[in-house]
Amino acid sequence: MGTLTVNQNKLQKRLRRQAGEAVADYNMIEDGDKVMVCLSGGKDSYTLLDVLMHLQKVAPIKFEIVAVNMDQKQPGFPEHVLPAYLKELGVEYHIVEKDTYSVVKELVPEGKTACSLCSRLRRGTLYTFADEIGATKMALGHHRDDIVETFFLNMFYNGSLKAMPPKLRADDGRNVVIRPLAYCNEKDIQAYSDFKQFPIIPCNLCGSQENLQRQVVKEMLQEWERKTPGRTESIFRGLQNVIPSQLADRNLFDFTTLRIDETAASRFVNVVNL
């Protein structure tokens, strides 16, 4: 890439610092870990691999990195791109072939979005493969904007307050998912991907679908950010600062037995007659 410009250098340092902070804050990677980095061929996963390879060099602990791409047999998928890129990097990698494309096209009616089913099939395959190769952590490229978008999607459409946690143990207990880019914003990742000239592979299955709920939420957040810069960051901080007693979930806070504290000091000051 040659010498970086001042802005490119600042951007690279910022992404590396933010990823390092997220890894440290949530204890995402430990000494001796084997981290399976899931590569889709998009800007986020390329940036994830790039940042983790840097952290591997400078971290005070030792951990392995293995890159894994899932070839879902989408028509026109350029199978040569990722192997060529990963060979040039010199990183260990695997290409997992699984025809989930045909399954999705068969089960999802024409005009309906395929993201949910596609994601579940892909996730299940990758979980299984991580277990097979002995990976102790599975790294995904979701960033701060993805997390905030997911929060609103769940609230608007599922009636639940949840997002994408920076670190998650899968339901089967056999996989720990980490999101080292949790503190990074999409705008920075896009700029980094542009100047690094990653060989982007577009998703022809779902990336071209219109009227996705996620796209609607993304546009809403982008409009908020234009009108009030910093709002997305503030929302993300809110996800890190949850106060159960100020919400309404009876499973998180015991509202039923809430009573006055008879031992508490009175708010009223005794008035002395003058």
Q: Which residues are annotated as a binding site for [4Fe-4S] cluster?
A: 115, 118, 206
Which tokens sit at 246? 């100020």
Alpha-carbon gap, residue 185 to 229, rounded angstroms: 13
Beta-bridged to residue 176, according to DSSP, are 169
CA angle 196/220/232 to nearest 5° reads 60
Question: Binding-site residues, please?
Answer: 115, 118, 206
How many of the other CB atoms lie within 10 Å of CB of 217? 19
What is the distance between the alpha carbons of residues 273 and 152, in angstroms, rounded to a whole number?
57
Distance CA 22, CA 16 (A): 10
Q: How many residues can be counted in the chain?
A: 274
* Cβ atoms < 10 Å from Cβ of 124: 14
